[in-house]
Amino acid sequence: MRLSNGEVLLHWPLDIHVLTQGWYYNDGSLHQAVDLRTQIKGMYIRPVYAAEDGTVDQTQNWDGHTKTGMQSYGNMVRIKHAPYKRKTLQTRYAHLSSYCVKYGQRVKEGEIIGYSGTTGNVYGAHLHFEVILNGKRTNPLTWLDADYTLATGKEYQFNKGEHSVIVPTADTADKKLQIPTIGPMSKGDYDALLKTAADNGSAPTLYTVTMQAMSTAAASALQQKADALGVHYTSKWVED
């Protein structure tokens, strides 16, 4: 995603954001990537998502035994994104069990491109994720938001002066309003949703369950409340 300040905020390539190895490995050696946990409750195959719109510019199939050179990545996908400050921007996803894209294919941010696995030079299931700028690997955590946890608390995060992406206030989709419609529901559920809407700076039109136009953040809070109450939720964008 391109932000209003010209920076890039990449989509997390997994639905869980647990850092197991950072820019430096936990033993202090240089990694030049991050590893993200994929194994939860015995399951290690999880969908892997494109970090931003782009074109698949490399794929690799693991030969099943070689763990050196490019084969150390195992099954791998690389995506070329729009340039950043006139420099080539790419992301790489490695150790996949399989991938479901092909060379030259256009992909959208958040689209499934493959599934995590244990191929290549790995010790345990994880996703190896790289961000490459003008052919040089950069710390992926500087292209992502701060919504992650550390597996042990000792994982390396940032070099001096580096940090997670800072999103400008009211950026991107939150500038666009939407009108949620929720229900049918009981009076008690209606009152609970009314309070959630009011707490997020909006309010339903009197005696109806069609809300006034609200921001994405407010609508998201309302949807979470509706889901918790088990009532139907739909929403439409306000036309520009």
Q: Is 174 helix (H, G, I), strand (E, B) or coil?
A: helix
For the cut 70, the answer to whether the pLDDT of residue 176 exceeds it is no
Distance of CA 76 to the CA centre of its chain: 18
Length of the chain in terms of residues written = 240
CB 130 within 8 A of CB 170: no
pLDDT of residue 239: 57
Task: Kindly provide the residue ranges of all beta strands, DSSP E only, lying in 100-188, ordered along the sequence.
Answer: 106-107, 112-116, 126-133, 136-138, 149-150, 178-182
CB 75 within 8 A of CB 45: no
For the cut 80, the answer to whether the pLDDT of residue 175 exceeds it is no
How far apart CA 69 and CA 120 sit, in angstroms, is 10
Question: What DSSP designation does 6 have?
Answer: S
Read off the pLDDT of each residue in 83-101 and give the average, rounded to a whole number. 97
Q: What is the pTM of this model?
A: 0.71
Read off the pLDDT of each residue in 3-8 and give the average, rounded to a whole number. 90
Where is pLDDT greater, at 116 or 200? 116
**With bands split at pLDDT 50, 70 and 90, how would you rate the model's confidence at 188?**
confident
pLDDT of residue 192: 78
How far apart CA 126 and CA 118 sit, in angstroms, is 7
